Chains A and B, each alone.
Chain A
């Protein structure tokens, strides 16, 4: 894969250089031609359309641009964490999906984007956090864990006003970024490292006990331990 990518990129680079020198091909004219077509189709957003004065306009200061990037990060998060795509594919797909919404459903960017983000983030975070906590429940099957995770997440969102989770984390990050809280943050992270190392070793011991010889119940424990041995797991 890597070699093929290298060969294709080199071919592209050399053909581009050949076209520029022999055929008087100008990349500076060619790129806008492609992006104009993409913008017309909706795969690339036309962010400057919200500007009052198009000649003297910083698109980053427009609320619609900020909303665009927040929705883009939301899709990135969902595709990366819930779907399990890699980092670059989720950014690319997220970009295309958000651009399409920007073109065909602009009403989305007029509503409370942060509210939408808070809602999705809280749900996803509770789901992932439960997965993190339930790593130690080796006697439970994968399906039971998933069932517990989903039901607790749904209860938290619809009955327990789980949007507080976002406020909690964002307040904490605010303190961390701006002031003495930075030192507290570093100390907390070092403490968490030691705690997670300790509980990780405990869970290895528990997994070994549960596995035993001839045990058939601990399918997840087996895969967790194997992952840990191969350096893939997070125990």
Chain B
């Protein structure tokens, strides 16, 4: 009863999160950029869980994260089927071709117009017109639709072709096989060998990547709500928690090293560690992308806005 209750509650929470992610994109600069990356990461993870039936064979993880995510998508599917007669089960084309692009067009145009004109009404009108044009052109995003990745045209794609069903599932299918191929070629032994040095490397990399990415996921989650003071407090708490957790992982890696070296403790006997290398490297890759994106946002937006603010006596804050 308790587990079912928790799963149902989490399903609804995840459903709200997924819907919110679909309909919100770049809303603010820098502070929310990290939250946005975390949301996108969670969204990609939830798509993989639902469409690829992901299971990690870790009881708590599967029960309280993967199962509610699957149920949330099932619930969304039921709602869409009974409301509009469309199904997303086994076919993510509705999400990728219609919902995300429409949300992206609306938010992108609204953001730039409220930034340029400082008038919410005008920004709202123009962004709604952009959505109408998007619908009238049968979901065509112009230049973005002509982007082709590996011979596959990515239709109905926001974010320059990155977040498309073809790209994500392509990466998901190809990345592990390419990684295993690279590993075999260079003879590192990340995927076959479970030697101590490799495990140490994986754990430390995991701690560093986790420090960057987990904070983003938490920032984009439901924990940050309420007024600005509460958000600031929440942000500080998240930073503290994440740094202590990744610190603990770091210490655990060193302790495991000593345990293996001096107390004849066999690290390979821990079953979870066998499958750790691939997810850690995947997350590390995403971390790299996120850090580069942060840097670009910092250069492109933050400096310009700071200049304008300084020129106008710091009176114009960045608006949502």
CB of B124 closer than 8 Å to a CB of A: yes
Given contacts A31-B79, A121-B129, A128-B125, contact A14 B142 (CB under 8 A): no
CB of B159 closer than 8 Å to a CB of A: no
Within the complex, the shortest CB–CB distance from A209 to chain B, in Å, comes to 18
Give CA–CA (A2, B227) in the complex, Å: 12
Contact yes or no, A60 B129, CB < 8 A:
no
Within the complex, the shortest CB–CB distance from B206 to chain A, in Å, comes to 33
Contact yes or no, B5 A21, CB < 8 A:
yes
Tell me which residues from 67 to 120 in chain B have a Cβ below 8 Å from any Cβ of chain A: 74-75, 78-79, 81-86, 94, 98, 105, 109, 112-113, 115-120
A234 / chain B contacts, CB cutoff of 8 Å: 118-120
CB of A197 closer than 8 Å to a CB of B: yes
Contact yes or no, A125 B125, CB < 8 A:
yes
B313 / chain A contacts, CB cutoff of 8 Å: 201
- Our pick among A36, A59, A77, A174 for the contact of B84 (Cβ within 8 Å) is A59
Fill in one digit per residue for A183-217: 1 if any B CB lies within 8 Å of its CB, else 0: 00110111011101110110000000000000000
Contact yes or no, B125 A28, CB < 8 A:
no
Given contacts A21-B4, A73-B131, contact A173 B126 (CB under 8 A): yes
Within the complex, the shortest CB–CB distance from B185 to chain A, in Å, comes to 40
Contact yes or no, B142 A174, CB < 8 A:
yes
Nearest residue (CB) in A for B79 is A31
Nearest residue (CB) in A for B137 is A174
Contact yes or no, B143 A114, CB < 8 A:
no
Contact yes or no, A117 B132, CB < 8 A:
yes
Contact yes or no, A17 B8, CB < 8 A:
yes
Within the complex, the shortest CB–CB distance from B121 to chain A, in Å, comes to 5
Contact yes or no, B122 A69, CB < 8 A:
no
Interface of A is mostly: helix
Contact yes or no, B84 A47, CB < 8 A:
yes
Number of interface residues of A (CB under 8 A): 67
Contact yes or no, B122 A128, CB < 8 A:
yes
CB of A70 closer than 8 Å to a CB of B: yes
Contact yes or no, A193 B5, CB < 8 A:
no
Interface of B is mostly: helix
B124 / chain A contacts, CB cutoff of 8 Å: 77, 80-81
Contact yes or no, A59 B86, CB < 8 A:
yes
CB of A110 closer than 8 Å to a CB of B: no
Contact yes or no, B136 A114, CB < 8 A:
yes
CB of B138 closer than 8 Å to a CB of A: yes
Contact yes or no, A28 B129, CB < 8 A:
no
B5 / chain A contacts, CB cutoff of 8 Å: 14, 17-18, 21
Within the complex, the shortest CB–CB distance from A131 to chain B, in Å, comes to 8
Among the 9-residue stretches B236-244, B258-266, B304-312, the one with 4 or more Cβ atoms under 8 Å from chain A is B304-312
A44 / chain B contacts, CB cutoff of 8 Å: 83
B120 / chain A contacts, CB cutoff of 8 Å: 234
Nearest residue (CB) in A for B109 is A173
- Our pick among B12, B74, B121 for the contact of A81 (Cβ within 8 Å) is B121
B126 / chain A contacts, CB cutoff of 8 Å: 169, 173
CB of B149 closer than 8 Å to a CB of A: no
Given contacts A81-B124, A128-B121, A196-B117, contact A17 B4 (CB under 8 A): yes
Contact yes or no, B125 A121, CB < 8 A:
yes
Number of interface residues of B (CB under 8 A): 56
Fill in one digit per residue for B270-307: 1 if any A CB lies within 8 Å of its CB, else 0: 00000000000000000000000000000000001000
B125 / chain A contacts, CB cutoff of 8 Å: 77, 81, 121, 124-125, 128
Nearest residue (CB) in B for A128 is B121
Within the complex, the shortest CB–CB distance from A179 to chain B, in Å, comes to 6
B119 / chain A contacts, CB cutoff of 8 Å: 128, 132, 234
A182 / chain B contacts, CB cutoff of 8 Å: 143
Within the complex, the shortest CB–CB distance from A66 to chain B, in Å, comes to 5
Nearest residue (CB) in A for B4 is A21
Contact yes or no, A35 B135, CB < 8 A:
no
Give CA–CA (A80, B7) in the complex, Å: 36
CB of A108 closer than 8 Å to a CB of B: no
CB of B317 closer than 8 Å to a CB of A: yes
Fill in one digit per residue for A121-160: 1 if any B CB lies within 8 Å of its CB, else 0: 1001100110110000000000000000000000000000
Give CA–CA (A24, B44) in the complex, Å: 33
- Our pick among A13, A186, A231, A235 for the contact of B12 (Cβ within 8 Å) is A13
A178 / chain B contacts, CB cutoff of 8 Å: 142-143
Give CA–CA (A32, B83) in the complex, Å: 8
**Beyond A20-B8, A178-B143, 7 additional pairs, beta carbon < 8 A:** A27-B75, A32-B82, A132-B119, A173-B126, A173-B129, A174-B142, A235-B118
Q: Sort A-B residue pairs by CB-CB distance and give the 3 closest, nearest first.
A: A178-B142, A192-B116, A17-B8
**8 A/B residue pairs, CB under 8 Å, sorted by A:** A32-B78, A59-B85, A73-B131, A114-B136, A132-B119, A189-B113, A193-B308, A235-B118
A residues adjacent to B (C-beta < 8 A)? 2, 10, 13-14, 16-18, 20-22, 27-28, 31-32, 35-36, 44, 47-48, 54, 57-61, 66, 69-70, 73, 76-77, 80-81, 114, 117, 121, 124-125, 128-129, 131-132, 166, 169-170, 173-174, 177-179, 182, 185-186, 188-190, 192-194, 196-198, 200-201, 231, 234-235
